[in-house]
Amino acid sequence: MIDYSLYLVTGRELLPEGKAYCDFLREALEGGVTIVQVREKKADTAEFLHIANESKNLCTDYGVPLIINDRVDIALAVDADGVHLGQTDMPVRVARSLLPPGKIIGVSCNSVDHVKKAVEDGANYVGIGAVWATNTKQLTSLVLGVRAVGPLLSALDATSVKAVAIGGIKSSNVLRTLHGSVSTTGHRLDGVAVVSEIVSSREPFKSARTLKEVYQSWSNSTKQLGEISPSYTTETIKDRVADLLHVVKETKPLIHQITNIVVANQSANATLALGASPIMASALEEIYDLSRVLSALLINLGTVTDNESMLTAGRFANDAKKPVVFDPVGVGATEFRRKVAAELLNTWQASVIKGNAGELAALADSEEVQAKGVDSIGVGFANPAKFVRDLARKERCVVALTGAIDWVSDGTTIVKLTNGHKLLGDITGSGCLVGTCIATFCAGAWELAKNEDGAAKLVRGDMLIGALGGILALTIAGERAAVRSNVQGSGTFLPALIDELYNLTPEKIKQDSQVEIVTV
Ligand code: 3NM
Ligand code: MG
Residues 505, 442: one domain?
Answer: yes
Number of domains in the chain: 2
> Collapsing DSSP states into helix, strand and coil, what is residue 471?
helix
pLDDT tens-digit series, residues 90-145 = 999 999 999 999 999 999 999 999 999 999 999 999 999 999 999 999 999 999 99
Residue 432: active-site member: yes
Query: Which amino acid type is present at position 39?
Result: R
Report CA(66)–ligand 1 centroid distance (Å): 18
Q: Can you tell me which atom of ligand 1 is nearest the CA of 131?
A: 5
Return the higher-pLDDT residue of 519 and 369. 519
Q: What is the CATH number of the domain that holds 68?
A: 3.20.20.70
Residues 380, 288: one domain?
Answer: yes
Q: What is the mean pLDDT of residues 498-510?
A: 98
Is 174 inside any structural domain?
yes
Q: What is the CATH number of the domain that holds 302?
A: 3.40.1190.20
Query: Mean pLDDT over all residues of the chain?
Result: 95
Q: Which ligand is nearest to the CA of 71?
A: 2
- pLDDT surpasses 70 at 373: no
Cα separation of 124 and 121, whole Å? Answer: 9
Say what the pLDDT of residue 225 is. 44
Say what the pLDDT of residue 231 is. 80
CA-to-CA dists, residue 461 to 105, 231, 449, angstroms: 41, 15, 5
Sign of CA dihedral 482, 494, 323, 342: positive
Residues 210, 305: one domain?
Answer: no
For the chain, the straight-line distance linking the first and the last C-alpha, in angstroms and rounded, comes to: 38
- Domain of 102 in residue numbering reads as 6-220
Is 403 inside any structural domain?
yes
pLDDT tens-digit series, residues 268-301 = 999 999 999 999 999 999 999 999 999 999 999 9
Say what the pLDDT of residue 375 is. 65
Is 227 inside any structural domain?
no
Is 1 inside any structural domain?
no
Cβ-based neighbours of 350, under 8 Å, separated by 6 or more: 314, 324, 325, 326, 395, 397
Residue where one domain finishes, among candidates 194, 220, 246:
220
Q: Can you tell me which atom of ligand 1 is nearest the CA of 144?
A: 5
- Of all protein residues, the one whose alpha carbon is nearest to atom 4 of ligand 1 is 137
Is 225 inside any structural domain?
no
Is 60 inside any structural domain?
yes
Cα separation of 398 and 239, whole Å? Answer: 19
> Using a 6 Å CB cutoff, which residues line ligand 1?
9, 108, 127, 129-130, 134, 136-137, 166-169, 194-197
Taking the whole predicted model, whether its pTM rises above 0.95 is answered as no
Residues 173, 29: one domain?
Answer: yes
